[in-house]
Structure 1
């Protein structure tokens, strides 16, 4: 299934060693993303309002990555068409407008429904 997405916020490309460090939901969603599994720095992506989210291994979303237009290497993407929202609309049998984001790494990916843009900050988590 094709997906149309554009990089959001963090325009620095991460390498294929990037991974999700943690996902915390406590009224807001905070996703910590390591630039590389062997480092202790990355970004913290915070959504103040969330309508839904899911974490999947990157293999489960491999059909996205093979599309020539998919923006590879960027950790935070805004989904413009396709993606989880399209899958849910097809499953439910009706169209519901969702603003969708996806945090992409070589280890895990987090899809998020949120009407608001995330806040992205550089972060460091000493071991």
Structure 2
């Protein structure tokens, strides 16, 4: 399956060892924390907040190999907007009708989260001490 994505949040770094640190769905909002890097005991990451998403799924990056090998997959960004292909297209095929949705992909070197949400996410830099459970 061919996918076409567009970087939404630019960053100067992308680490292959990055991962989804947490995913919290509460009161109709979805917040994803991505641990991007760890240096000297400090984890630097991103907080990606979606207001009123209509669906989301978390998959290991190996379950999305068909995306990574596509020429239309933008590299070097943790947050992408999916313009074509992707989970939305898969759902349209299964349901046998096309639905207008906006789709986002939060990418890490490990887990990835697909999100249906009509609004763009809020993305902010976050950091915490390694082993600190409070974030």
Q: Which has the higher strand share?
A: 2
TM-score by length of 1: 0.94
Q: Which runs of 5+ in 2 are unaligned?
A: 131-135
In the other structure, the counterpart of 1:4 is 4
1:23 aligns with 2:23: yes
| In 1: Cα distance, 2:72 partner to 2:56 partner | 24
TM-score by length of 2: 0.88
Ranges of 4+ aligned residues in structure 1 off by more than 3 Å: 10-13
Mapped contact 2:36–2:44 kept (Cα < 8 A): yes
Mapped contact 2:19–2:109 kept (Cα < 8 A): yes
Q: Which runs of 5+ in 1 are unaligned?
A: none
In structure 2, the residue corresponding to 1:96 is in which secondary structure? coil
**Aligned counterpart for 1:104 among listed residues 89, 107, 132:** 107
State the aligned residue count: 127
Query: Over the residues paired in the alignment, what is the CA RMSD in angstroms?
Result: 1.4
1:49 aligns with 2:61: no
Question: Which structure has the bigger radius of gyration?
Answer: 2
